Structure 1
Amino acid sequence: MEYGKNFTEMMKEFSMLDEVEGILLAGSRATHYNDKDSDYDVCIYLNKEISLEIRKQITDKYCSYMELNNTFWETEDDGMLRDDKIAIELIYRDYRLLDTMLERTLVRCEADIGYSTCFWANLLHSIILFDKTGKLHNLKEKYRIDYPKELKQNIINKNYSLLKLKMPAYYYQIEKALKRGDMVSVNHRVAALFASYFDILFAVNEMPHPGEKRMLKILQEDDKKIPMDMSENVANILKFAASHDDSLLLEIDKLVINISSLLKKEGVWEDWMDDQM
């Protein structure tokens, strides 16, 4: 794959730092879902922190704009490359922490609420741009494994409970928010509902979760195992949430019924799931 000159030279400079163990290109440019507006998602794995001064010296050379040390989610620098005016995101991570997180998910099979296997997908589907001692390559090989069956069931169980089964479920939170006329809360909970919904679907398909972009598109490709009327359900829920329409609850009911049918068909339905409130 060809990259712009400024991108290539900047990666070369980062790779020369003692603090850097490896550099991965992730996101759509690594998975070939990119378009002309896709940014560069770069993960720089460290053995110790790079000073802000050094990061500024490097990024100033190759970027026309740069926001240093954004820490909203992780430590990152976000800017715009000079040559092709494409956005770049530099995320700084501890290599050892990545291994710990992947072991938690893939060895201990601990599920999350939404996006359970995103870090796994990020590693597997990334392109190694630099690997000082082969640690990133070794980590990729270590976790190039079949989808753990225990993890699959744990993700399904944990996230299915929050669709409509338990008292704190999104359905009941949305129902209360509609009664209050609190549309900010409605939309917040709808987003959470979809996070759990898609976490279940990628687990059913034994696919590492690709993240928050293009989820419908990916699940519609090839012969994926998907619920009946998936696209229609999703579109209607978004439409009814935006229009403050009480039909939203009926559409969520349909979504839950359809995903339940899929779980039964795929043999991952458990008896306790029959206890609908």
Structure 2
Amino acid sequence: MADRIGAGLATLPGVRAVVLGGSLVGPMVDPGSDVDLYVYADKPPPVAGRRLIAAGGRDVEIDNRFWETGDEWEDDASGLAIDVMYRESAWVEGELDRVLDEHRAAVGYSTAIWANVQAGIPLIDPSGWYGDLRRRASVPYPEPLRQAIVAKNLPLLRAARSAYRAQIVKAIARDDLVSVNHRVAALLASVFDILFALNRQPHPGEKRQVAMVEATCPVRPAGFGGDVLAVLGATSGGGSDLLRAIDRLITGMESLVADEAVSMDPDSGSRARQTVPAGPRDGDDA
């Protein structure tokens, strides 16, 4: 089915490659996994042709722009959800430049697009462009990037004046549970960004992060999964229980960074770019 849809997408004007990605190419596929297809072109192909490819599907949604430009539908024969995402080829090349050449960190999810490119399986790649991109992505984790991610994200947990813990304390004081939830999510995004970097693992995306850490990250605080669950369990109530759980999680991360002797000088690697701590669409498990 993916090959059939990919062949149709490849007929659209300007398409350079069609790639299978997401959970189906990762280690933790489940019956609810979508069929994620990434279409690389200089610009998104015209909507009319895309609509024809989705014809015959159920619950068709064309040209949604909530996250990446995309089309979604349910395959009539299999019942599987199809999620097609259109990416500009220059943009993804720039994302690899950012992490592999410039070693610039983000606030959470720094290397998720890199991981997405590594894992993607090309269905259509007539010029070999995506194969070249994957070869470029198949390099050892740059140490300056590792340092830059830690240097950018670790102070945001507790040490900086505008750290997430301080923001959560203020949100609790004003009884603002929506803000508490928002800042806890941001804190966890930075925690996982640090942890994947320490283990020299490109970030696999926002799904099943605790399970991915346990499967791929031997360098982690003792009891890490339980500490994350304790934070999540206390979030809805706010108050001292949440702060104690956050402090335990952060202390474990700070101790781990100290044990790994990672430089906390932001200039020891390369300059880091400020971004919003919101993950890509799960590489979508980007």
- TM-score, normalised with respect to structure 2: 0.89
Q: Which has the higher contact order (CA 8 A, sep 6+)?
A: 2
Please list every run of 5 or more consecutive structure 2 residues that lacks an aligned counterpart in the other structure.
267-286
Matched, 1:231 2:225: yes
| Residue matched to 1:143 | 137
Matched, 1:118 2:107: no
| Residue matched to 2:41 | 46
**How far apart in 2 are the matches of 1:90 and 1:263?**
38
**How far apart in 2 are the matches of 1:139 and 1:38?**
25
Amino acid at match of 1:111: A
| Residue matched to 1:275 | none
Alignment counterpart, residue 199 of structure 1, candidates 193, 197, 218 = 193
**How far apart in 2 are the matches of 1:212 and 1:137?**
25
**How far apart in 1 are the matches of 2:27 and 2:153?**
29
| Residue matched to 1:28 | 23
**How far apart in 2 are the matches of 1:267 and 1:109?**
19
CA contact (8 A) 1:65 1:81 kept: no
The SS at the match of 2:158 is: helix
| Residue matched to 1:131 | 125
| Residue matched to 1:65 | 59
| Residue matched to 1:13 | 8
**Superposed displacement of residue 92, structure 1:** 0.3
| Residue matched to 2:170 | 176
**Superposed displacement of residue 269, structure 1:** 5.0
CA contact (8 A) 2:151 2:265 kept: no
**Superposed displacement of residue 73, structure 1:** 1.5
**Superposed displacement of residue 110, structure 1:** 0.4
Matched, 1:109 2:115: no
The SS at the match of 2:233 is: helix
More deviation, 211-220/260-269: 260-269
Matched, 1:189 2:183: yes
Based on CA coordinates, which of the two structures has the bigger radius of gyration?
A: 1
**How far apart in 2 are the matches of 1:250 and 1:219?**
22
CA contact (8 A) 1:13 1:58 kept: yes
**How far apart in 1 are the matches of 2:127 and 2:263?**
44
More deviation, 107-116/28-37: 28-37
More deviation, 143-152/42-51: 42-51
**How far apart in 1 are the matches of 2:252 and 2:5?**
48
Please list every run of 5 or more consecutive structure 1 residues that lacks an aligned counterpart in the other structure.
273-277
CA contact (8 A) 1:240 1:246 kept: no
Change (3 A) 1:107 1:93: same
**How far apart in 2 are the matches of 1:142 and 1:230?**
33
| Alignment root-mean-square deviation, CA | 1.5
The SS at the match of 1:91 is: strand
Alignment counterpart, residue 262 of structure 1, candidates 256, 259, 266 = 256
Change (3 A) 1:141 1:192: same
Residue identity (%) = 36
**Superposed displacement of residue 222, structure 1:** 5.7
**Superposed displacement of residue 47, structure 1:** 2.7
| Residue matched to 2:149 | 155
The SS at the match of 2:123 is: strand
**Superposed displacement of residue 69, structure 1:** 0.9
**Superposed displacement of residue 55, structure 1:** 0.6
CA contact (8 A) 1:226 1:262 kept: yes
**How far apart in 2 are the matches of 1:158 and 1:101?**
18
More deviation, 66-75/238-247: 238-247
